[in-house]
Homo-oligomer: A and B are copies of this chain.
Amino acid sequence: MARDSSATKARLLDAAFSEFAAYGIAGARVDRIAEAAQANKRLIYVYYGNKEQLFDAVLQRALETGSESVPFDADDLPGYAGAVFDHLVAHPALMRLVVWKQLERPGATDAEGASYRGKIAVVVEAQRTGRIDAALDPADILTLVLGLSQAWFGAVGGPAAGGAGTGWTPERLARHRAAVVEAVRRITAPPQDTP
């Protein structure tokens, strides 16, 4: 039990995820991560190199699991926006992590760029087949849909804080979710969509 290096690595990664989500890269404390993981600080350097690389590992895993559980669907962008919204609300730490990354490590990684270009291509195709209004630039569509899905995070009284209970009641959240979905529908629906 005490000699399982992969378990220790995983505990460190989990602890680092929480720490980075809460404090960002600059604010995160290596000692706190080690303590929360019940591991020795040294092992962070053995397994992950240094604080920055640990952050990279945390972010990569978080984004992987994120894009796995919310597959992109250009044929139903309102549904996709709702799914992204649900996932972020369910995992506010992931939301915070992404924002920290945006501030402290701007610029897209190769994986992000590839995923982005893939989505663009799918949107273009959906525009060609008439399922998305072709008047808007596909890159703009993507940006706006994501922006709408994440808008709650920046809202006044929004749950930018730590983890759980955050001022928004479930009803309020559900209503906002519906508003996001409807907004995406109005933006992306092709003309003459309401017969």
Contact A176 B143 (CB under 8 A): yes
A33 to B150, CA, bound (A): 33
A152 — which chain B residues lie within 8 A by C-beta?
143, 147
The majority secondary structure among interface residues of chain A is helix
Interface pair A151/B160, CB less than 8 Å apart = no
CB-nearest residue of chain B relative to A119? B156
Known A-B contacts A26-B26, A137-B179, A156-B108; A151 and B161 likewise in contact (beta carbons under 8 Å): no
- Among candidates B147, B162, B176, residue contacting A150 with C-beta atoms closer than 8 Å: B147
CB distance from A85 to the nearest CB of B (A): 11
Q: Which residues of A contact B (CB under 8 A)?
A: 23-27, 96, 98-100, 102-104, 106-108, 112-113, 116, 136-137, 139-144, 146-148, 150-158, 160-162, 175-176, 179-180, 182-183, 186-187
23 contacts between A and B (CB under 8 A): A24-B24, A27-B104, A96-B103, A99-B102, A102-B154, A102-B160, A103-B103, A103-B160, A106-B160, A106-B162, A107-B160, A108-B157, A113-B156, A139-B155, A140-B180, A142-B155, A143-B158, A147-B148, A147-B152, A150-B154, A183-B187, A186-B186, A187-B187
